[in-house]
Amino acid sequence: MHASQALNVVNGVETSDVSKSESQTFTDKVQLYSSSNSAESSVDEDQKEIRRRRKIGLANRGKVPWNKGKKHSKETCERIRHRTKEAMMDPKVKSCKNHDHTKANIRTALRRMWGERLKLKKSREKFLSPWAERIAEAARKGASGQQELQWDSYDKIKESWKWAAVHAKAKEAAKAEKMARLAEKRKELEQKVKAREVKRKNRKSKEEREELLIAQGLKLKEKLTKIHKRKASANGQIACEDQRAWEKLDLEFIKGEHTQREVSLADQIRATKTKK
């Protein structure tokens, strides 16, 4: 009896475990189905959004935007900036922006665009390079009557132009230096001429002063000679008169001596007494 009860308990436990495992598998299947349905629904929504945007783009192709050529005011620009920030802070937009599917789409679109650009660039280079080479060769050879050039002729011409420019600058500098030297010499000559004129004027003034002094001296000399002549004439007259007086005195003295010699001493004493 105990054995039969134990068997029944074991069978019950087994049946309960089987039922639990079956319920677990069922729930797992339901979750997988729901997740697959949600993924399919999200993919369908993305495809619908892409188709909608493509239709909008095709409908707007060739149309002029309503705000083309218009300038918003500062308040409108600030409002647009604020609303854009608010929209970017929305978790739906963030999740869409940071979604792997969106990044993959952007990546594929960029790769396709850059691939097309690279292909166009290569085709242009492939078409234009031989054409440019033929044009360059024809330009190098030149037309009839023109000189054939080399591939480094442009560099040589450029160097010759540079050398000519440097030579012209040096020539202008030498000319300016020569003109400055000539101007300095001219200035020195002018200064010398001015100094000579000043010296000549000073010499003339000195000569004039000397001539004036000589003239004044001559005039003074003439005046003095006249005065001296007058004085001399006056002194001559006085001297003549004095000379005559002295001559008279001398004659009288001589006569007196002669008479004294002839007259005796007593007579002379008597004569002097009578004169007194």
Domain with 18, as residue range(s), is 1-36
**Whether pLDDT at 13 is above 50:** no
Tell whether 101 is covered by a domain.
yes
The number of helices, as runs of H, and strands, as runs of E, in the chain is 6, 0
d(CA 206, CA 174): 47
d(CA 266, CA 275): 14
Alpha helices in 61-152 (DSSP H): 74-88, 91-97, 100-141
Cβ neighbours around 123 below 10 Å, total? 10
Burial of 217 (0-12, 13-18, 19+ CB in 10 A): exposed
pLDDT digits (tens, 9 = 90+) for 76-107: 999 999 998 888 888 877 776 667 777 888 88
Tell whether 25 is covered by a domain.
yes
Taking a C-beta distance cutoff of 8 angstroms, is the pair 93, 87 a contact? Answer: yes
Tell whether 126 is covered by a domain.
yes
- Nearest one of 89, 87, 91, 101 to 42, comparing CA atoms: 101
pLDDT digits (tens, 9 = 90+) for 49-84: 889 988 888 888 878 777 777 788 899 999 999 998
d(CA 111, CA 105): 10
**Whether pLDDT at 29 is above 70:** no
Global confidence as pTM: 0.26
Domain count, the chain: 2
Tell whether 155 is covered by a domain.
no
Q: pLDDT above 70 covers what percent of the chain? A: 66
Tell whether 201 is covered by a domain.
no
**Whether pLDDT at 11 is above 90:** no
Of 111, 139, 167, the last residue of a domain is 139
pLDDT digits (tens, 9 = 90+) for 94-150: 776 667 777 888 889 999 999 999 999 988 888 888 888 888 888 878 777 777 777
Tell whether 243 is covered by a domain.
no
Tell whether 41 is covered by a domain.
no
Tell whether 32 is covered by a domain.
yes
Taking a C-beta distance cutoff of 8 angstroms, is the pair 67, 61 a contact? Answer: no
Higher per-residue pLDDT: 19 or 269:
269
Burial of 256 (0-12, 13-18, 19+ CB in 10 A): middle
Residues in the chain, total: 276
